[in-house]
Chain A
Amino acid sequence: MYSFEPSDEQKMLIDAVSRYATSDLRKAAHDAEENKELPPKLISKGWELGVLQASIPEAYSGFGERSALTGALAAEELAYGDLAGALAVGTPGLFALSVLLAGSEEQKKQYLPPIIEADWKPYTAALIEPAFDFDPNELKTTAKAEGSDYILTGEKTFVPFADKAEAMIVYARLKKETKAFIVPKGAAGLKVGEEREKLMGLNAVPFFKVTLDGVKVPKGNLLPGDFAPVLDASRVAVAAMAIGVAKAAFGYSRDYAKDRDVFGVKVAQKQAIAFMLAEMATEIEAIRLLVWEAAWAIDNKKEDASQRAYLAVTGASDMAMMVTDRAVQILGGHGYIREHPVELWMRNGRGFATFTGLAMV
Chain B
Amino acid sequence: MIDFEIPEKIAGTRLVVETVAVNMMRPVSRYFDEHEHEIPWDYINFMHTATRAMGGSSMVPSEKKEGPRFGFQRLAVMVEMLSWGDAGIYLCTPGGMLGSAAVSATGTPEQKERFLKRFRGETPVFDAMCMTESQCGSDTSAIRATAVLDKEKKEWVLNGEKIFVTAGHKAMLDSEGFIVVWVTIDPAAGRAGMRPLVVEAKTPGCQVTKMEHKLGIRASDTVSIVLQDCRVPFDNILGSPEVVTTDKATTGFKGAMATFDATRPIVAAQAIGLARATLELLKEMLAERGVTIRYGLPRQKLTSVEKDVIEMEIQLRSAWWLVLKAVWMMDNGKPNSLESSMSKVRAGDVVNRITQKAVEIMGPLGYSREYLLEKWFRDAKISDIYEGTGQINRLVVARQILGYRSSELR
Contacts and interface: CB of A to CB of B under 8 A. Distances in A.
B92 interface: no
B296 A269 contact: no
B321 A296 contact: no
Contacts of B404: 268-269
Contacts of A344: none
Interface string A309-323: 011001100100000
A271 B409 contact: yes
B321 A277 contact: no
A306 interface: yes
Contacts of B314: 287, 290, 311, 314-315, 318
A326 B5 CA distance: 34
A274 B315 CA distance: 22
Interface stretch (B18-26, B187-195, B250-258, B395-403): B395-403
Contacts of B342: 281-282, 285-286
B402 A353 contact: no
B318 interface: yes
A31 B16 CA distance: 60
* B interface SS class: helix
B10 to A, nearest CB: 8
A278 interface: yes
Interface stretch (B78-86, B135-143, B240-248, B298-306): B298-306
A183 interface: no
Contact of B298 (A1, A3, A134): A134
A334 interface: no
B30 interface: no
Interface residues of B, number: 47
B345 A315 contact: no
Interface stretch (A4-12, A38-46, A218-226): A4-12
A279 B299 contact: no
A134 B300 CA distance: 9
B297 interface: yes
B317 A311 contact: yes
Interface stretch (B107-115, B208-216, B322-330, B378-386): B322-330
Contacts of A315: 314-315, 318
A300 B133 CA distance: 51
B402 A254 contact: yes
Contacts of B58: none
Contacts of A282: 322, 342, 345-346, 397
B7 A2 contact: yes
Given A289-B325, A307-B295, A275 B398 contact: yes
B229 interface: no
B300 A132 contact: yes
Contacts of B298: 133-135
Contacts of B295: 306-307, 310-311
B344 to A, nearest CB: 10
A300 B2 CA distance: 12
A296 B324 CA distance: 16
Contacts of B391: 275
Interface in A308-361: 310-311, 314-315, 318, 353
A258 B311 CA distance: 33
Given A4-B325, A286-B346, A289-B321, A281 B397 contact: yes
A346 B391 CA distance: 27
A283 B325 CA distance: 14
B313 interface: yes
Nearest to B328: A2
B5 A290 contact: no
B6 interface: yes
A269 B1 contact: no
A69 interface: yes
A278 B398 contact: yes
Given A277-B398, A278-B397, A311-B310, A293 B296 contact: no
Given A1-B5, A290-B318, A275 B394 contact: yes
Nearest to B310: A314
A203 interface: no
A238 interface: no
Given A268-B402, A310-B296, A274 B321 contact: no
B299 A353 contact: yes
Interface in B320-378: 321-322, 324-325, 328-329, 339, 342, 345-346
A135 B318 contact: no
Interface in B277-317: 295-301, 310-311, 313-315, 317
A274 B391 CA distance: 11
B395 A3 contact: no
A84 to B, nearest CB: 24
A69 B2 contact: yes
A3 B328 contact: yes
A292 interface: yes
A274 B318 contact: no
Contacts of B297: 135, 137
A310 B222 CA distance: 43
Interface string A254-269: 1001100000000011
Contacts of B2: 3-7, 10, 69, 292, 296
Contacts of A278: 345, 394-395, 397-398, 401
Contacts of A257: 402
B79 to A, nearest CB: 15
A6 B399 CA distance: 26
A2 B1 CA distance: 9
B152 interface: no
A100 interface: no
A289 B318 contact: yes
Contact of B301 (A6, A133, A258, A293): A133
Contacts of A281: 342, 397, 401
B4 A297 contact: yes
Nearest to A311: B314
A292 B68 CA distance: 22
Given A4-B328, A5-B1, A277-B401, 16 more contacts: A132-B300, A133-B298, A133-B300, A135-B301, A268-B404, A275-B394, A275-B398, A277-B398, A277-B402, A282-B345, A282-B346, A286-B346, A289-B318, A306-B295, A307-B295, A318-B314
Interface of B: 1-7, 68, 73, 295-301, 310-311, 313-315, 317-319, 321-322, 324-325, 328-329, 339, 342, 345-346, 391, 394-395, 397-399, 401-404, 408-410
Interface of A: 1-7, 10, 69, 132-135, 137, 254, 257-258, 268-269, 271, 274-275, 277-279, 281-283, 285-287, 289-290, 292-293, 296-297, 300, 306-307, 310-311, 314-315, 318, 353
8 contacts: A2-B3, A3-B2, A4-B325, A132-B300, A258-B403, A275-B398, A289-B321, A318-B311
